[in-house]
Amino acid sequence: MNYFAESLSSAFKLIISFDPDIYQVAFTSVLISITAAIIAASLAIPAGVTMALNSFRGKAFIQHILNTLMAMPTVVIGLLLYGLFSRLGPLGHWGILYTPTAIIIAEAILIFPIMMNLAITAVRSADPRLVPTLVSLGAKPTAMIVHVIRTTRLAMLAALITGFGRAIGEVGAAMMLGGNIEGFTRTMTTAIALETSKGEFELGLALGILLLLIAFALNFILSWLNPNND
């Protein structure tokens, strides 16, 4: 108990003293996750809206695939991308293995189905008169997508934040593709795993607390965005 209390106290000291190592890792983590979330959102949200607005053959199958991908283990994504990006892999000549770019790609792929599903749900939950109104006002397909996104923007922002939350807490793919290189690809989750295994429990705990604070902040923003909340 003493060990845990002392470690906790040391962890808070590291955070309060703005320990550069901790904040460097936190900064890298946030930057990678924000980039991944923005890239995924810019593709998943229009794709989700398009899918929700249109009926086509194979729609149910795509929905099924999306649901399956939402539950895909992160290490599997890491493994597949490792195979692609490794020196002998088909995309080895890109030279992005063990770079933040590889982690960003992995995290974007990981959160894409989550965001797309949330975008589909957002359109389905929107006022059923929205789309017929836009049709009768003469909205062309692109304008339709833009205005549906604009009208459901809070739900879309919630999808973005949920995706970011999932990305920043991801460890498997970040470890396999980033290689946990200090000051370059070391994220909060990979650092926690490494530092704890090295016995640097305080450092791991400090990063864990920061990660929790980010999660709390995200939840707070989500609740604040939800107009149904009192």
Q: Which residue in 84, 139, 218, 222 binds another protein (CB under 8 A)? A: 139
The footprint of another protein on this chain (CB under 8 A) covers a number of residues equal to 15
Q: Which of residues 144-173 bind another protein (CB under 8 A)?
A: 147, 151
Q: How far is the CB of 122 from another protein (least distance, A)?
A: 14
Of 80-119, which residues contact another protein (CB under 8 A)?
Answer: none
The rounded distance, in Å, linking the Cα atoms of 107 and 168 is 9
| CA 85 to chain centroid | 21
Stretch that binds another protein, among 82-90, 99-107, 134-142, 196-204 (CB under 8 A): 134-142
Binding part of the chain for another protein, among 72-80, 96-104, 130-138, 200-208 by CB under 8 A, reads 130-138
Confirm or reject binding of residue 125 to another protein (CB under 8 A).
no
Contact 119, 47 (CB under 8 A): yes
134 contributes a contact to another protein by CB under 8 A: yes
Is the Cβ of residue 135 or residue 181 nearer to another protein in the bound state? 135
Among 43, 65, 127, 198, binds another protein (CB under 8 A): 127
**Which of 83, 90, 95, 132 is the binder for another protein (CB under 8 A)?**
132
**Nearest distance, CB of residue 129 and another protein, angstroms:** 4
5-42 burial: b if 16+ Cβ within 10 Å, else e: eebeeebeebbeeeeebbeebbebbbebbebbbebbbe
227 makes contact with another protein (CB under 8 A): no
CA dihedral 137, 138, 139, 141 (to 10 degrees): 150
Provide the Cα torsion 31, 37, 42, 46; round to 10°.
Answer: -170
Q: Identify which range of 9-17, 65-73, 124-132, 179-187 contacts another protein by CB under 8 A.
A: 124-132
Closest CA to 81 of 179, 188, 187, 194: 179
d(CA 219, CA 222): 5
Q: Candidates 19-27, 95-103, 131-139, 203-211 — which segment interacts with another protein by CB under 8 A?
A: 131-139
**Comparison of 57 and 140: residue with beta carbon closer to another protein:** 140
Residues that bind another protein (CB under 8 A): 127, 129-130, 132-140, 143, 147, 151
